[in-house]
Structure formats: C-alpha cells, structure tokens
Amino acid sequence: MLAYLALNKVRETLPEEQINSSIRLFWILIGILFVLLFAMLTLGGRTRFSGRSMTLIDPSYASNHMPLVASVAEHSATAWGLYLTQIHNLLFFVPLGLYLILTYKKRMTYGKLFLALYILCSIYFSCVMIRLVLIVAPAIVLVSALAVGWIIRKASKAIRHLLVGREDNAKAKNLLPVEFAVFAMVITIWMLRNYILHSNLYSAEILSSPSIVLSQGNQIDGTRVILDDFREAYYWLKQNTEKRDKILSWWDYGYQITGMSNRTVIVDNNTWNNTHIATVGKFLASNEEDGIEIARKLDANYVLVIFGGLINYGGDDLSKFLWFVRIAAGVFPAIKEEEYYKDGQHFGVAEY
C-alpha cells in the first residue's frame, strides 16, 4: 500500500515517459539480481531441484539416484492403456484440435499459443509421471472441444445447405459432402455419448472404491466380494494394544494406522528423513536376529506386515520388497540387492 501511494505521488511530479522508463529499469534489475542469486545458491550447493522435478527432466533420475521417489507408484511412467481408460474417446479428437490451433486460418494468438504449449508439455510430463495425468486432462478437454466444435460446425453447415439452401454457390463448393457430414455428425455424437457412459462407469467402479475396504467381482458367479482385512487389522491394533505402543510398518500404512488405530507409527506418508525410512527398509529386509535389534532401537512394540496370501493381492509388502532393499542400500552399503535374488527372482532375506 505504501509503495502504491509513493508511486502515485511520483507520477504527479515526474513525466509519464520517465516513470515508465524507471519502472522498466527497476524490473530489469530485479530480474538480474534474481538470476545472480539463484546461480550463487545453485553453484554453492544451497539449493537444488527436488527428486520429483529432476525425474520430470530426466525420467531415469529417480530409479538411478533416488529409489525412495521411484518406489512410489504415482511417480512411475504412465502406461498407454491408462490414457485409453481415463481419457477415452477424447484422445481421438486431440490431433485434429492441435492441428486447428496451429494452422487453421493462419491466425495465431497468445491464447492458441498457450494452449498448444500447454497440451504438448503436459502430454510429455504425464508420460513421465502417472500422477500428472491429472494435469493433462484439462488440456485434452479444451483441445478436443475445439475439434468437436469444428466437426459439428462443418457438418451442420452442409446439412443446413441441403435442407434450407441459404449458402451461395461459391460457399457451397467448400461445404462437406452431405453423406460425409451426416456420418461425421453421427460418429461424433456416438463417441461423446460413449465417453459420458464410460466416465460414469469408471467413476462408480474404479474411482469410488475406498483404499481400506476393497471390493471386486467374483469371476465365477459375478457376486461382489468385500475385502475387509485392512480395517479389521487396524481395529485389532486399536483394541489389543496399549495407547503408548508404537507400530513399525512400511510408510504406506502410516496415516491409516494413525487415523484408524490411534497408535503412533515409526514412519508415515509425511516422513521426510530418508535415513529413517531406509532404517525401516533395512529392518524389513533383515533376518530375525538383526531385525529385532533394529526394532528395539526404533522403540517399536508391534510390526505390521501385509501379505497377499491366497487371493494374490498385488499391493502387499512382498511385491514391494525390492524397494525396501534398494532404499536401504542407498544408506547402508552393507546391503547388496543382488544377494536377494535367486534364479532371477527375489527371495526371502539374504544373510549380509
């Protein structure tokens, strides 16, 4: 407020051209100072890009240098099938929409340029990291909407000319053939209808399932099967452990244990200390004798391990086992990943 009042006071005394020159000079100096400060901090090692940012620039960075970042499923590369599942029919309109933005009527505006850069950059970033599919979705909606609008407009003009005949002969030559226009209109409407049905079904069946109580259909008779083991395990901890007890588990389950069992955990989803998480990984990758020593040092009273069992639950700790080893090996050199393999498959616990 004071700066605004001071600027108004200066405007009353100095010519407008001189004020604008001073403001431009001020912003140039601010930009130079910012670049110099950023360069000094970067070269001095006081600031650096985060592991997630480096993974966007170099997709192999996390797997090579930061296994903790690479272990999170949301940071993995996006499979092409996921685009078909989540974006569905809108994918087929994107190339036409991008073509219209860049070439249609040769009129490039700042809005078109922004939208083109937005969708191209977001497509690249969403391919690198699966969580960024959320970022590419608005861009795909906007670009595909341009394509759908262009198809409907072109097709409707041809149909209107057949029914009403308002277009003159010069303009009528540029219209689409009526058969092709009707076909394009029907196909576009059919694809949009399927997109709406798919979105409702996907939201109801996939996105609405809670992560604690799982459900799936029985492949034999089609009945709904409810997997309530997580909730029952957390309820058991709440009923059978003391309030002061501490639970040792992988960080994935930290928030759930805290929220549903009301017990203290050693690591959770907000643990930033890589060494602390690596220590838990070392515990899970150790044999019983070494593991109990680590658990005592961490002051843990109970250990929670998730096992998929007969239902072959793919998200259990056994499927994550190699990440425990890799994260622990980044801090404890005594742990060697190759010692946990046998005939090309990881197995049990190695003696190290």
Check: CB of residue 249 under 8 Å from CB of residue 304: yes
User: Is 189 a residue whose pLDDT tops 70?
Assistant: yes
Q: Establish if 72 belongs to a structural domain.
A: no
- The reported pLDDT for the residue numbered 240 is 92
Same domain? For 285 and 200 the reply is no
Helices 133-163, 94-103: inter-axial angle, 10-degree rounding: 80
The pair phi, psi for residue 85, each rounded to 5°, is: -75, -40
CATH code of the domain containing 317: 3.40.50.12610
Same domain? For 197 and 298 the reply is no
pTM of the model: 0.64
- Please compute, for residue 322, the number of CA atoms within 13 A of its CA located in the half-sphere on the CB side: 14
Same domain? For 251 and 197 the reply is no
Where among 207, 240, 259 does a domain terminate?
Answer: 207
User: Is 230 a residue whose pLDDT tops 80?
Assistant: yes
**Per-residue pLDDT band at 105 (split at 50, 70, 90):** low
Q: What mean pLDDT is predicted for residues 243-252?
A: 90
**Per-residue pLDDT band at 238 (split at 50, 70, 90):** very high
**Per-residue pLDDT band at 64 (split at 50, 70, 90):** confident
Same domain? For 199 and 229 the reply is no
Radius of gyration of the chain (CA): 30
Residue-number span of the structural domain to which 128 is assigned: 79-207
Domain count, the chain: 2
